Amino acid sequence: MTDGIDDPGDVLGRYEPLVDDVESFREACARPLPAVVRVNEIKATPDEVRAGFEEEGIDFEPVDWHDGLLRLPDGDPGHSWAYVHGWVYGQEEVSAVPALVLDPQPGERVFDPCAAPGSKTTQLAALMEDTGLLVANDSNLGRLSALRSNAERCGVSNVAVTKSDARNFSLKPFSEGDEDEPFDRVLVDVPCSCEGTIRKNPDALADWTLDHVQGVAGVQKGILERAIEMTKPGGTVVYSTCTFAPEENEAVLDHALANSACDLVEFDLPLESRPGVTEWDGETYDPAVERARRIYPHHNDTGGFFCAKLEVAA
């Protein structure tokens, strides 16, 4: 298998066959990413945050597809009153998509296996109205420290923080009886090659290699398989990455469909997106991967993202 790159320094060129407007795609990837905050509705309403920003003289612009997201033309207000008191969380716009697709309900059992530093964890907690059980796991101790700090700042009380390799996570500590008690929903936002973050991290592709992409894809497959095993029949698993690489996206879903009891399901997005791809670099994937959604930077002036929704077989 080749890496599909004529110029080893041009990783984005690898994905030109997948995009509808190459010039716009490249131009968008070269622009800085707008700063965005998400309103933490455990502590405040969007109206309260807007009023607070106006009082502090912080400029903001509404995000048309989500009332709780605000773009900040002057950058991240990390030292603002609203941030310090947990009213807002700095979160890339498309990063808010997976939790919305998962749609956790108050009182449910929800698992976030790759949780740190906590942007999606705190969003899940707010969607759950800070009730039920939210297990937030990560394998990196340093990142877990940031997760705990962010959860505390945002007033999250329904979270249990754990340190484990998500591929081998045990349900036992969170089961009341002798039998493992599965989760209602799992958000699998896996570590990835981060190609879609280039607008925020211009150096994200500096050390890119196909070996790394293929290696992390193996980890992603293991995490998704274990997540499906831990979800109750009829439950929901959302898989997401911030990379363009089909090896980390559609290929991982193809593996799950072939080896786990699950189906990919359709879902609506309030953002412009494209379906998953069924062929890449000589490989063919299950046609169901078209039900996944690809978000490219030039379509919504965001970072790049990939999201898929799976239903565990009953």
Question: Which sign does the torsion angle of CA 263, 266, 271, 273 carry?
Answer: positive
Q: Is 262 helix (H, G, I), strand (E, B) or coil?
A: strand
CA nearest to 37, candidates 28, 46, 29:
46
CA nearest to 134, candidates 154, 153, 162:
162
**3-class SS shares of the chain: helix, strand, coil, % to 5:** 35, 25, 40
Identity at 223, one-letter amino acid code: I
Longest dimension (CA), the chain: 58
Is residue 242 among the annotated active site residues?
A: yes
The b-or-e profile of 57-77 (16+ CB within 10 A means b, else e) is ebebeebeebebbbebeeeeb
CA nearest to 9, candidates 207, 152, 164:
207
Query: 280: how many CB neighbours lie within 10 A of its CB?
Result: 19
CA nearest to 239, candidates 113, 144, 108, 104:
113
Q: Which of 114, 194, 242, 262 is catalytic?
A: 242
Asked if 286 and 259 touch (Cβ cutoff 8 Å), the reply is no
Structure tokens at 240: 């997401």
Q: Using CA atoms, how far apart are residues 182 and 198, in angstroms rounded to an integer?
A: 36
CA nearest to 280, candidates 243, 309, 227:
243
Q: Using CA atoms, how far apart are residues 239 and 237, in angstroms rounded to an integer?
A: 7
Structure tokens at 116: 């740190």
Q: Which active-site residues does the annotation give?
A: 242
